[in-house]
């Protein structure tokens, strides 16, 4: 299996360009918080000969594949099995108090999408698992079997922004009374039958429901809400963070976290901004950047991506107080 053929890292050159100023010094450390199959990490290790990368992933299969791919780099790579809201503990376990760069490539990985038996893709019939870490946790089938109609409607509305959430929740509850919903093919059939014909012409009926189930199974938004502030706290002055998000809910959380970090905390009306109220970060891109048309044509998975980035420009209060 040639990983370079099946896995094309999204916005790779732009990620390198944005993180490079923080990684060019000696003993620089980059945290790849969503390692996947290691495509981004491999490129960074090749470009920056003195760089050490701490790669995190909750998916044990991804860690196994990435470990093989990155083996030629020896002790320049540290792999950690963890969800990315455990980023602070993961970095602490390496004995490093701070890092120079952090990369998040959010959402479902190529590995998870391409392995039908994982149940992430509505286009392929498979067990409804959807766990990024298959060693523990609740599956999508468990959710479909145990959540009430109201709970199903809530996650479809919140995480899938699905307008037909009430109709779909009702159809699922009715269908499971006849037998458990354990495979993606059966769920797609239920959703399709519950979708008005006119709505079927605007997109696949299962797309948003599958997204919502995946987010609920993996607690993706609550994890992200904790992970980004924790990541920002780990960056040294001059350190940089880049986040690639693939759906609006993720991007809103990232946007809010970076906006708060790059805003003054001075009380309204204060005539002079005191140093402790100055922004801790500055934004490196205006709004959210998208992949170029050329990249979207070459790599369709880059189509929905939204990139945001920031640089730390002053230390935290605690460090100022002890300086």
**What are the Cα distances from residue 114, in Å, to 120, 122, 129, 295?**
9, 11, 14, 20
Examine the pLDDT at 184 and tell me if it is beyond 80: yes
| Mean pLDDT, residues 69-89 taken together | 96
- In which element (H, E) is residue 256 found? helix 248-261
Question: Pick from 244, 286, 282: which is nearest to 261 by CA?
Answer: 282
Instruction: Please state the residue numbers annotated as binding site for S-adenosyl-L-methionine.
Output: 38-40, 57, 84, 105, 112
In the block, residue with structure tokens 């998000």? 245
Examine the pLDDT at 199 and tell me if it is beyond 90: no
In the block, residue with structure tokens 């948003």? 208
Residue 272 has a pLDDT of 62
Residue 31 has a pLDDT of 98
Examine the pLDDT at 300 and tell me if it is beyond 60: yes
Instruction: Please state the residue numbers annotated as binding site.
Output: 38-40, 57, 84, 105, 112
Task: With H, G, I as helix, E, B as strand and everything else as coil, classify residue 48.
Answer: coil
Domain boundaries, the chain: 3-105+220-322, 116-218
Examine the pLDDT at 121 and tell me if it is beyond 80: no
Residue 269 has a pLDDT of 61
pLDDT in tens, 51-64: 999 999 998 888 99
CA 135-114-309 angle, to 5 degrees, is 85
Domain 116-218 - what CATH class? Answer: mainly alpha
Task: Provide the 8-state DSSP code for 77.
Answer: E
10-41 exposure pattern, b = at least 16 Cβ within 10 A, e = fewer: bbbebbbebbeebbeeeebbbbbbbbbbbbbb
Rounded Cα distance between 306 and 153, Å, is: 27
Rounded to 10 deg, the angle between the 12-23 and 39-47 helix axes is 50
Domain spanning 3-105+220-322: which superfamily?
Vaccinia Virus protein VP39 (3.40.50.150)
């Amino acid at each position: 299996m040639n990983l370079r053929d099946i896995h094309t890292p999204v916005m790779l050159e732009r990620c390198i360009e944005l993180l490079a100023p923080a990684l060019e010094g000696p003993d620089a450390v980059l945290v790849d918080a969503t390692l996947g199959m290691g495509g981004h990490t491999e490129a960074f290790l090749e470009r920056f000969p003195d760089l050490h990368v701490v790669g995190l992933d909750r998916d044990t299969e991804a860690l196994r594949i990435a470990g093989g791919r990155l083996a030629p780099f020896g002790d320049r790579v540290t792999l950690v099995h963890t969800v990315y809201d455990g980023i602070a503990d993961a970095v602490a376990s390496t004995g490093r108090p701070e890092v120079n760069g952090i990369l998040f490539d959010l959402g479902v990985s190529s590995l998870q999408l391409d392995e039908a038996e994982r149940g992430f893709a509505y286009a392929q019939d498979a067990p409804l698992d959807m766990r990024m870490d298959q060693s523990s946790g609740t599956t999508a089938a468990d959710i479909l079997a145990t959540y009430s109609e109201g709970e199903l409607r809530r996650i479809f509305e919140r995480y899938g922004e699905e307008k037909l959430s009430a109709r779909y929740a009702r159809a699922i509850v009715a269908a499971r009374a006849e037998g458990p919903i354990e495979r993606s093919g059966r769920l797609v059939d239920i959703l399709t039958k519950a979708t008005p014909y006119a709505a079927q012409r605007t997109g696949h009926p299962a797309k948003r429901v599958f997204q919502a189930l995946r987010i609920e199974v993996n607690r993706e938004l609550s994890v992200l809400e904790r992970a980004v502030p924790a990541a920002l706290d780990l960056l040294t002055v001059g350190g940089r963070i880049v986040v690639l998000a693939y759906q609006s809910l993720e991007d809103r959380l990232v946007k809010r976290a970076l906006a708060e970090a790059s805003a003054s905390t001075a009380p309204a009306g204060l005539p002079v901004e005191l140093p402790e109220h100055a922004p801790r970060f500055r934004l490196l891109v205006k709004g959210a950047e998208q992949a170029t048309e050329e990249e979207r044509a070459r790599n369709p998975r880059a189509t929905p991506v939204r990139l945001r980035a920031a640089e730390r420009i002053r230390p935290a209060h605690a460090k100022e107080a002890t300086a």
